[in-house]
Chain A
């Protein structure tokens, strides 16, 4: 609790500096963006001020107005850009200004389209600093400059992630709970989503599942370390699904997975031992070999695309669960927060993770999830714009 109050007080103080800063520098002149350019998706948060005075309205340049209107009046941009309306934070006070925080995403491969749009809307004329994080901030820095005449302020993705998570959690005390967990994760009939009050959040293990996975141990707002990572992440799920089923989007892959049955693809303990492997306490339903049944030609011919999608999802998710659990043991941390866009609309994986954490730790570990799963890096980048750390 103390951590949270402290950070809020910090926020208010820096809010003052912020306003002063506004008159002194261009740092926090509108528009306020934070951007996270990942391997697969670009995540964009945009603060829409709702307390614009008539005077300000008068002064607001046309370009800025048009950007605000374009972003807030649409929920889809081009063919692939999407605003996650359900995540919008309304009446948020940020740096002394009241407004709504919008969450927008589009595929990284459409970044050129985005830059073209920025150029068309003369974004550069606003002389704003664009705070960006994620690998793409480095990879595309030059494109931003040449294609849209924009100078990026590059930020470390894990710094932003940690900052974003802690901030969103702190401002979400009213309204729907940001953090939640699954009650009775090992009992399918009574497994329900419940809000979780993330008091005294430290230490916590933060598992960010994007294209790949990073696992961080967070000890305080400014003290965290990257424990490890794995290349078996959301990108692997989608990549393998595309190859195995011919699908092309994450949503499609998830849809198929929800209709499939992984036990036709995986070899279970009971497939080998006829039941539980009692000597070592392994239940018969546990997966002995992911895709193990696919060693047999007959079985390869009898599975559906949906089964394959489901097995891929289960394999990747369980593996993340395994590595996370080992990290939690090695770091001696009992609370695990899973974030990242792999979990977006992916209740299957979240429940699997909740189950895995609970079952294999015999109830010692708790899997927690956050509603704004993939946007924390971008939020962290925005915060960096408003009060640089």
Chain B
């Protein structure tokens, strides 16, 4: 008789999203647009597939041929190369690695497999890594269709591998869900150290894993009451078959008509224990006493609360036992459903009294596929690289809330994509960040600031025509450029529209993310550097004035020179094709000169003005080493920044010039800067000796963005900064010093200087167009020689 008791209790072998056996029909009518769905399939290798209860996630690695703009110096020693060009710009093909992840409904699996088979060229691939509850069910089909051997991987370890990967490589991956806040999604800054954490996967059952390092995790517990319980019990109680329909019902129900609340027993609250009257004392407690009928909605709601609370409670008990405060939730029960994220968040808040926050992941649905893929790609050693989310090729987070905007309802049933590019360089924190774990690059979070969001979305949409025009103009020899530019326009406009309704799609929406998305889209349509020719012309003109500028500076007294140098950098910064107000002036009046720019500048006192402190500091001993993040090409770098570099070198300060690895707007790239510096060195012995003695170093920052994320910089840069004992960081320009890093605190002296070239932003900051920000800061408790207390 006791035989029955030999089963049971907690557990649940995980996220096995139970096969939705009901819907088995294969939809073959769908036609797949190869441009958009399984992209770059011809170069694909290393497949992985994660088949869940209703969704399939496919992963593959492929290489993408990219047009990249390269600059190459002419050999000026020979006569024949002495053209009127400063340097040679060539567009070359570069092959980069990209990870593709595609999510689609299981109903399409057969169509998709056929499609892959038809388009797959690479024959090296012999196996496909598979995970998920459905992997078993579809094994034969996959092997038959693709002719690949299905190699099954453990689900839990795939999930965790995937989770580590996204946490490390995707900024703003994790978020806290707050239903009633201005912005439902509050993205978390990523602590460089992601471990340890708790992963609670709510599939048909619940699995709880403690992850301690890349290779070490342990399944510490679980529960059999999970998504399958909600679905199964819900189907029995409400005769509603589908999971989403059950959630829909629940969203409309009142649980208090089914549950016995504390106030139903006490008449009010249980004050002695601090239990409020609305607390559920007994789930479904009222359905035990009355003979009445209960509505489907109310039962579904009660069931949802019962299960969410139970999971939350167990998660808290495990978190407490193992002393963990980071708890991530995933699994099909969570997957983008605002309702379950809300009930789980509520439960965690209740049981931990707010001490632990429930965290969710933007790419939660892909974790298994990513993990399975990584397991198969170990020989490529993907973990030794940094990867970046490609905003052009990724769908972004789509809320599945039915109340959400209709455009996404239509697509939720189809295909969702994530693409990640392998970055050339490994990215790390700037070692001089005061607190890496709380560093937020962006000054304004447009996800939370609705008026700012409105403005910037409008601004970027408004500027789109100009960008398209410039893109076409940058490739005069290519007749199909106009077609590509048009595709770019559509793509970017669509992104902007999506972001208008779902500003959280790619994490916190910021000016930086809008700029980066535009760069990604331009690259996608092979416009690697629309400004290359403009930059070249500007550089050329500016170089001609270099010696004159230096000479006039030399003639000034020391104190006057310091001020002139700063004004020079600021005036140079007015030259910026990235800012609309400026590009208008520049395009209408090409004669707009350096001197004119200086006259445009605001007179002191500036909007933010700590120049006096800076000057006092300069009267003291020289800095050991200055790290300078540069901005625009042309006048900015050559007539503004270089004279300052020269002055610093003359003072005995080493200088590290950090420029973009790849093109973005008219920002000077590392390649261009190499050539420019050589040219200047030929004219200027100070720069020349600086280069020769290794006191002037050029490094790349690892990014191709007009903004600057100090938590994702080239590892080599970080090394130089450390070796040189850098004690001054200068950040120049609106993108790097105002849109980002305005509030960044460093552990050494820092100088942020920029001219505000956007009237809306100027307004916001209490200034006007061409207001100046000159923000010199000395870290607290580390007063430099003469530096007095600084005004903010």
Contact = CB atoms under 8 A, between A and B. Distances in A.
The answer to whether A and B come from one shared complex is yes
Interface of A: 38-40, 107, 109, 134-136, 138-141, 156, 158, 185-189, 191, 210-212, 226, 228, 230-236, 238-244, 248, 261-263, 265-269, 272-273, 277, 279-280, 282, 285-298, 300, 308, 310, 314-315, 317-319, 321-323, 325-327, 329-330, 348, 351-352, 355-356, 359-360
Contact of B228 (A189, A235, A280, A291): A291
Contacts of A293: 232
B156 interface: yes
B226 A244 contact: no
Contacts of A243: 237, 284, 287, 294, 299
Interface in B463-513: none
11 contacts: A138-B267, A188-B4, A189-B2, A239-B282, A263-B7, A272-B13, A286-B10, A289-B12, A323-B313, A326-B321, A330-B317
B453 to A, nearest CB: 40
A129 to B, nearest CB: 20
A234 B265 CA distance: 14
A268 B16 CA distance: 11
Contact of A188 (B2, B9, B18, B225): B2
Given A138-B268, A280-B219, A300-B235, A266 B224 contact: yes
Contacts of B260: 39, 211-212, 235
A286 to B, nearest CB: 4
A279 B5 CA distance: 24
Size category of the B interface is: 35 or more
Interface of B: 1-14, 16, 18, 20-22, 53, 133, 154, 156, 203-205, 219, 221, 223-229, 231-233, 235-237, 241, 258-260, 262, 264-268, 270, 272-273, 280-289, 291, 294, 299, 306, 309-310, 313-314, 317-318, 320-321, 351
A141 B266 CA distance: 10
Given A236-B283, A268-B7, A351-B5, A288 B231 contact: no
Contacts of B7: 262-263, 268, 285-287, 314
B284 A291 contact: no
A348 B226 CA distance: 23
A128 B291 CA distance: 37
B62 to A, nearest CB: 31
B272 A287 contact: no
Contacts of B318: 326
Contact of B282 (A39, A244, A318): A39
B284 A319 contact: no
Interface centre among B8, B306, B309 (most CB of A within 10 A): B8
A83 B319 CA distance: 45
B267 A135 contact: yes
Contacts of A134: 265
A384 B14 CA distance: 49
Given A158-B273, A228-B317, 20 more contacts: A136-B265, A139-B264, A139-B266, A226-B273, A235-B260, A238-B288, A243-B237, A269-B11, A280-B156, A282-B13, A288-B204, A292-B224, A294-B235, A295-B18, A295-B53, A296-B22, A308-B236, A310-B4, A314-B8, A348-B5
Given A139-B267, A243-B287, A297-B241, A231 B9 contact: no
Contact of A231 (B225, B227, B309): B309
Nearest to A226: B273
Contacts of A330: 317, 320-321
B204 A289 contact: yes
A230 B225 CA distance: 13
Nearest to A294: B232
A272 B222 CA distance: 16
Given A289-B18, A315-B224, A248 B291 contact: yes
Nearest to A158: B273
B280 A292 contact: no
Nearest to A250: B288
A325 B313 CA distance: 13
Interface centre among B9, B10, B280, B317 (most CB of A within 10 A): B9
B8 A352 contact: yes
A321 B203 CA distance: 21
B21 A355 contact: no
Contacts of B291: 248
Contacts of B156: 279-280
Given A211-B265, A233-B282, A280-B219, A267 B289 contact: no
A308 B237 CA distance: 11
Contacts of B237: 243-244
B314 A326 contact: yes
B221 to A, nearest CB: 8
Contact of A355 (B8, B12, B229, B235): B8
A279 B219 CA distance: 9
Given A211-B281, A289-B228, A322 B2 contact: no
Contacts of B18: 267, 272, 289, 292, 295
Given A267-B18, A293-B232, A318-B9, A236 B270 contact: no
Given A232-B306, A292-B229, A211 B13 contact: no
A211 B285 contact: yes
A287 B229 CA distance: 11
Contacts of B310: 230, 232, 319
B265 A267 contact: no
B235 A322 contact: no
A288 B12 contact: yes
- Pairs of residues from A and B, 9 with the lowest C-beta to C-beta distance, nearest first: A188-B2, A294-B232, A239-B284, A135-B265, A235-B282, A139-B267, A289-B228, A235-B285, A292-B228
A240 B154 contact: no
A233 B294 CA distance: 20
A295 B246 CA distance: 12
B586 to A, nearest CB: 63
A230 B313 contact: yes
Contacts of A296: 21-22
Given A139-B267, A286-B11, A315-B225, A239 B3 contact: no
Given A186-B6, A322-B314, A360-B10, A235 B288 contact: yes
Nearest to A263: B7
Contacts of A268: 7
Contact of B8 (A38, A140, A158, A318): A318
Given A244-B236, A288-B224, A39 B317 contact: no
A139 B265 contact: yes
Contacts of B285: 39-40, 211-212, 231, 235-236, 239
Contacts of A226: 273
B10 A318 contact: yes
B8 A212 contact: no
A156 B321 contact: no
B224 A318 contact: yes
A241 to B, nearest CB: 8
A352 B5 contact: yes
Contact of B288 (A239, A277, A300): A239
Contacts of A356: 8-10
Contacts of A279: 154, 156
A179 B203 CA distance: 40
Nearest to A297: B22
B5 A188 contact: yes
A355 B7 CA distance: 9
Nearest to B219: A280
A289 B10 contact: no
Given A232-B306, A240-B287, A291-B236, A39 B5 contact: no
A259 to B, nearest CB: 11
B267 A235 contact: no
Contact of B266 (A135, A210, A300): A135
B273 A39 contact: no
Nearest to B318: A326
Contact of B9 (A189, A191, A273, A321): A321
A134 B266 CA distance: 8
Nearest to A134: B265
B224 A228 contact: no
Given A228-B351, A315-B224, A109 B289 contact: yes
